[in-house]
A = this chain, B = another copy of it.
């Protein structure tokens, strides 16, 4: 009785919540299973809340435990970041902004931002990580990221979207393809070709847009390959395995045996959005957002 919750309890709780197995969690924590069991029990006693259901042969989280895990995840990430920042404040190099991005943001938006920020706010450092849309959303909610660059139209309530770059779409063809700038009139001219697209789990919004471009012209594309990297897609096109549709700006920086034809007269646009948590606590984020 009269015990106090300590960080230890939360570390242990997270380990068990992730492993859903006391012995494995204990191994990961480098302590014995009985010790772990006892600490978790103590935690439940202090909180007066059942966190785990030890049922039959498996352990699972209660609703309360599920809720707590999500919050503790966030709190720990925020705490880690805070402690790192505290040290930076001491050394005077205050300010780190953790940025996640889709590869396509590296074409222009992100480099522009970094150059501008470096010029005017030299004390703010950046850590960059290439991540898929969904991974960025999760990382933002857990406070593992401060800012994301995504292609999504709908995000959770507590996140804020802002369009930062609107792009047209271009058709990617092998060098020797009969279509060129003068005789290319519309996407329906390649309706019988095989298509190579970005994976829908990498960016479902992008995937749907491509499909709608084709459907507006009255055909459903035959998709033979999917990839997450522009380079791979270009390589596949170059090899004659099909054609692709990509945001126009993606062609920058690639020298390959393919040609790009901007698709005329379509309403679809590839929109890149900046994304951040509305109540983000990082003071370095605001000045960065002002550049967008």
| A contact residues vs B (CB 8 Å cutoff) | 4-8, 47-50, 53, 62-64, 67-68, 71-72, 74-75, 78-79, 82-83, 85-87, 89-90, 95, 281-284
Contacts and interface: CB of A to CB of B under 8 A. Distances in A.
A14 to B, nearest CB: 13
* A50, A62, A63, A74: most-surrounded residue (chain B CB, <10 A): A63
A284 B63 contact: yes
Contacts of A75: 75, 78-79, 82
Contact of A90 (B4, B62, B79, B90): B62
Q: Tell me whether chain A's interface is mostly helix, strand or loop, or mixed.
A: helix
B68 A86 contact: yes
A47 B86 contact: yes
A173 to B, nearest CB: 40
Lowest 8 A-B CB distances belong to which pairs?
A: A64-B90, A71-B82, A64-B89, A68-B86, A67-B89, A6-B6, A64-B86, A49-B90
B4 A283 contact: no
A61 B25 CA distance: 39
B8 A49 contact: no
Nearest to A78: B75
A140 to B, nearest CB: 17
